[in-house]
Copies of this chain bind each other. A is one copy, B any other.
Amino acid sequence: MRGLLIGRFQPFHSGHLAAVRQIRTDRPSEQLILGIGSAQESYTWKNPFTASERIEMAVLAIEEAKLDGVIVMPVPDIDRHALWVRYLETLLPRFERVYTNNPLTRALFEDAKYPVESPSLIDRARFEGERVREYLAAGVDWTPLVPPAVARYLSQIGGPARLALLRLDPSVGPLSP
């Protein structure tokens, strides 16, 4: 049996790690696929990091936390929501359960007869992707929001400077102004 936790993980923060830990604890005999969504995106305010960088962050955090049974996989978008569940079924190894707090994701998978569960949230107001990006862009107080291994990685690749740049024009890219 396998479960699927899908998100964009921009970046992989402590709320994500807590969800992974909870799922692995609750169901130790099931593998967990961590699907890195919008894998084709990068260098925008909403999606600052490449799939490569996001996979690195997730793997570093999971190793640091000594969690096992997690498979990390890139998932490029398919721009037809009505085909999304079927698309994931053909891209990822078989899964029988889905974890999400997103109401639309829940609805699409329930329509396709999957059991869907919500990881209980630890301090969601604090651990929320956009908020973490705002702190990174400001360059202060962001390290407590991500696992230590992710903090080191983000410092090493210049994450705060990239976010500060992208913060200037949240909507687009190199040709925007």
Distance of A105 Cα from B166 Cα, bound (Å): 11
Verify if A119 is at the interface (C-beta below 8 Å from B).
no
A173 to B81, CA, bound (A): 7
Q: Is the CB of A80 within 8 A of B90?
A: yes
Whether the pair B104, A169 counts as a contact (CB closer than 8 A) is yes
A157 to B127, CA, bound (A): 35
Question: Which residues of chain A (145-176) have a CB below 8 Å from chain B?
Answer: 162, 165-166, 168-169, 173-176
Report B-chain residues with C-beta under 8 Å of the C-beta of A104: 43, 165-166, 168-169, 173-174, 176
Q: Contacts A74-B73, A107-B162 known; A177 to B102 CB distance under 8 Å?
A: yes
Q: Is the CB of A44 within 8 A of B81?
A: yes
Interface range for A: 35 or more
A-B pairs with lowest CB-CB distance, top 6: A43-B81, A105-B174, A82-B90, A50-B90, A37-B175, A42-B82
Check if A25 is an interface residue, CB within 8 A of chain B. no
Q: Does A142 contact B (CB under 8 A)?
A: no
